Every structure is written in C-alpha cells, then in structure tokens.
Amino acid sequence: MDTISPTHDASTHETVTAPPPLRVVVIGGGIGGLALAAGLRRAGFDVVVHDRDLDPAVTGGYHITLDTPAQNALRALLEPSLFAELLASASAVRRRPPDVWFDWRGRLLGELEVEGLDPDSIDIDRISLRLLLAEAVGGDLVLGSTCTAVQRDPGPGGRVRASFADGSTAHGDLLVGADGPHSLVVRHLAGHLTSRPAGLIGISGRTSMADLDPADAARLGPRSSLTVGPRGTALYTGYLDPDGFAVLDAAHARAAITTGPTYVWGAMFPDSTAPEGLRGQRGSRLRETTIEALRAAGWGEPPLHVIARTSVGSMAAYRFNVGPEHARDMAPWPAGAITALGDAVHATPPTAGKGAGTAIIDAHRLVEELTTVRAGTQTLHAAVSTFEADMRHRGSAVIALSMTTVNRILASSTPVGSAITRASLPFMAWSAGLKRKLAHGSTRADGIR
C-alpha cells in the first residue's frame, strides 16, 4: 500500500502532505505504449508495460515517418543517448529526391505532392524504433503477457486492476490502453470498439535495392513513390537509407536493422476485391497471391518486380482500421483512472504517415499531465480529462488527413472510377514524358547558346 509522506514547508512553518507516488499500468507494447513507458520511467514514475508479443522485433507494417512534433516528443521522452541513437538510425527526408508517382505499368507521372509533409521529417523502420523504445523501458516491459480484463476496484479511492491469461494481475493508480484498434481497454471504457475497417487491406514487405535488377533500381531511384492502378489497387514504395541519407554523422551510434538502401513497400486492395483468405497467408504464398492479384487487376510487370524480389519473411497482410472521424465521437467516456491512446483511440490508416507520430505525441502529453498530478497542482481525473480533450482534436485531424488518400483509392475501385483511372493515367504518363523531353531539349538548347 502506498503511504503518504509529510514534508515541512519552511516558508509557512506548515506540514505539507505530498501526494502518493503514481503507479501506471500500460496495456500494449507498440510504439505508443513503449513511448509512454519510456517517458514515465525517465520522469521517475513507477510504470509497467504488458504486451502479448514474445519479441519486440516481431512487428510488421510500413516504415515510420516522424515529423518535427513527433521528434520533439521523443526528445523529451528518451534519454539523450537513446534519442541520438534513434536519429542515427533514420533517413533524412530532406536529403532524398522528391517523391514521385507512377501508373500501373510503371510509367513515371511526375512528382508526388505529399500533403502535410514536414521537410524535416525522418524515416525509420518500425522494428528499429520499437527496439529502441523497448531498450528505454528496460525491465519494466513484460512480454508474453496477454490482458484478458480490466476493472476499477470499488470505492472512492479504488485502484485499477488488469488481469492476464496466465492468472496474474497488475494494480495501479492509472491504467492506459495502448493495445491497438481492437483494444480491450477501449471496449471496457466505451462498451464497444470505436474503430472500424477503413475499406482497404494492406500487404507489406522489405526489398533491398541490391536485390533488384539495375533497370528496376534505376526506375525507382533513391526516393519513395506511389503507384496507382485500376480497381482501387495501389503500391506505396518507401525508400530507407540510414547510411546514404544519414540524419546524423554518427555511424557508431547506428542501431537500424536496415543496413543498405531498402524499399519498404505496401500494396493495397479494397476489401471488396481483395483475394479471399489474403490476410491469413504468409511467406511465398502471400507474395505470389499479391502479384497475381495485381496482374488480374491489369498491372504491368515493372511495378511488380519490387514485390517479386522481396524477403518473404518480411511480408505481412493486415486490415486498415480507422477511428471516429469527428472529435466529439472520440474517447466517448468520462475521464477517470482508465484511459487509452494511439490507435486504441484514433486508429489511423498508414496513408498519411502520421499514425505512429501521433501516438508518440499522445504519450508525451500524458506524461506532461501526470507530472502536474505528482506536483499536486491537478487531480488525476482532471489531468486525464485534459489529456483526452487534446487527444480528440489531434486524433481527428490526422484521421481526416489519412482518409483523404483512402477515399481516393476506394473511389477508383468502382466500375466508373476504374474506367477513369485506366483512361486518364496513360494520358498523364504521356504528358509527363513529353514535358521531360521538352525540358531536356530546352536544357540542351540553353547549353548550345
């Protein structure tokens, strides 16, 4: 049981009662949960994270883009040496050529205007980031621990309790659900899940540039790209190179699992047309199903080469989920000793590259609010209320941004949308090629004069 320790205030000659130490139980060891625990640990809080995974390196998904606000949040949450290690393991977006987009036959359409892209953003693979955060949490991370129930003990000062599949329990003053879009904690708070399928299924993988034919490597280049096809299909190819596009001149601190120029790609299919059983497939079968499904949609061969040369062990299929799109519908419960953050509250499709960064900012804001509780300037429930109000507005904004791309892709999956895509993109490819030829001719003429 926590005890309350009296202290003496010399200025008033009164004994002041210091608040008891807060113990925080975090359910879920993804990016948001680990970032929260790292920040709480650094700030001297008593914290424990329970995650069902047995190894933090076993994680799928795209690479992660961290904009300036997300980097600033991590700078506050991590020890300086670990934050420097994170920067040294990332690629600088500003150093690579602008993103481009292709049609489904692999023809260049032009530069891709990325809405809301911060030029000072960095890219890091998800595994590297999760491992660095797990290192920051240290022994306060409990792996292989599946939460089965959460509750608050009765009474005005009742603590919160989490129960686990092995029969163990964990008690605390605050319980935070960071357990993703199918969050058990959110189901407890809201009585139901607050996220829904976004309408797309994604397949991700990693392909070393060295494994591609020279012609494919030259076409893709040291840049990220989006390839748009008919029937609502698309392929995002993100470029990672912590060596060639290093953020810091600190190779000695590099901890990235990416050891050379690498494409972290993601194919997208509408739920309505995705191959049956796709999400249950693994390895080479998943790779072949993905390629055949894109061929069936009318794709040419060049864009498929990055998938054909991928490491099958890196591949995974998953559903895009999305949280409430209006702030008023997000976190629809009274603030109390149980809360949630990240995808558990505002599940965000990866189409805007903002989901992980938003979860990290959530974590930083909650640490800030809990610091005021420890200082005695705010009650725990008031601090949670302030945190959740801020999270609602931040979460709804990033969902709106990510759903813009999702809705565009889904619009092209209808018969009319697919026909428009087939008709318009070849013309755009021809037009883009003509512009490049004219620009090249103009450059040569300028040189002659």
Is 436 within a domain?
no
Query: Confidence band (pLDDT; 50, 70, 90) for 432?
Result: very low
pLDDT tens string 294-344: 999 999 999 999 999 998 988 999 999 999 999 999 999 999 999 999 999
Is 2 within a domain?
no
Pull the structure tokens for residue 130.
């999760």
| 207, HSE (Cβ side, Cα atoms, 13 Å) | 24
Is 12 within a domain?
no
- Does the pLDDT at position 10 exceed 50? no
The residue behind tokens 């976004």 is 198
Pull the structure tokens for residue 105.
């036959």
Sheet-wide strand order for 234-240: 108-111, 100-103, 225-228, 234-240, 262-270, 196-208, 316-322
Q: Can you give the pLDDT at residue 408? A: 85
| 100, HSE (Cβ side, Cα atoms, 13 Å) | 16
Is 449 within a domain?
no
d(CA 422, CA 230): 6
> Is the CB of residue 68 less than 8 Å from the CB of residue 92?
no
- Does the pLDDT at position 441 exceed 90? no
Query: Confidence band (pLDDT; 50, 70, 90) for 439?
Result: very low
pLDDT tens string 46-104: 999 999 999 988 876 668 999 999 999 999 999 999 999 999 999 999 999 999 999 99
Q: Can you give the pLDDT at residue 3? A: 37
Lowest mean pLDDT among 143-152, 227-236, 250-259, 296-305: 250-259
Secondary structure of the chain as H, E, C letters: CCCCCEEEECCCCEEEECCCCCEEEEECCCHHHHHHHHHHHHCCCEEEEEECCCCCCCCCCCCEEECHHHHHHHHHHCCHHHHHHHHHCCEEHHHCCCCEEEECCCCEEEECCCCCCCCCCEEECHHHHHHHHHHHHHHHEEECCCEEEEEECCCCCCCEEEEECCCCEEEECEEEECCCCCCHHHHHHHCCCCCEEEEEEEEEEEEEHHHCCHHHHHHHCCCCEEEECCCCCEEEEEEECCCCCECCCCHHHCCCCCCCCEEEEEEEEECCCCCCCHHHCCHHHHHHHHHHHHHHCCCCCHHHHHHHCCCHHHCEEEEEEECCCCHHHCCCCCCCCEEECCHHHHCCCHHHCCHHHHHHHHHHHHHHHHHHHHCCCCCHHHHHHHHHHHHHHHHHHHHHHHHHHHHHHHHCCCHHHHHHHHHHHHHHHHHHHHHHHHHHHHHHHHHHC
Beta bridge partners of 264: 206, 238
CB atoms within 10 A of CB 182: 13
Is 430 within a domain?
no
| Arithmetic mean of pLDDT, 187-195 | 95
Q: Among 208, 229, 209, 205, which residue's Cα sits nearest to residue 284?
A: 205
Query: Confidence band (pLDDT; 50, 70, 90) for 428?
Result: low
Which residues lie closer than 8 Å to 289 by C-beta, 6 or more apart? 275, 278, 281
| Arithmetic mean of pLDDT, 154-182 | 92
d(CA 174, CA 45): 11
Q: What CATH number has the domain bearing residue 279?
A: 3.50.50.60
Is 253 within a domain?
yes
Is 271 within a domain?
yes
Pull the structure tokens for residue 425.
């993109």
| Arithmetic mean of pLDDT, 420-444 | 50
Is 441 within a domain?
no
CB atoms within 10 A of CB 339: 27
Helices 355-374 & 68-77 angle (0-180, nearest 10): 40
| Arithmetic mean of pLDDT, 191-215 | 95
Query: Confidence band (pLDDT; 50, 70, 90) for 112?
Result: confident
How many folded domains does the chain comprise?
A: 1
Domain assignment of residue 79, given as a range: 23-415
- Does the pLDDT at position 352 exceed 90? no
d(CA 387, CA 366): 6
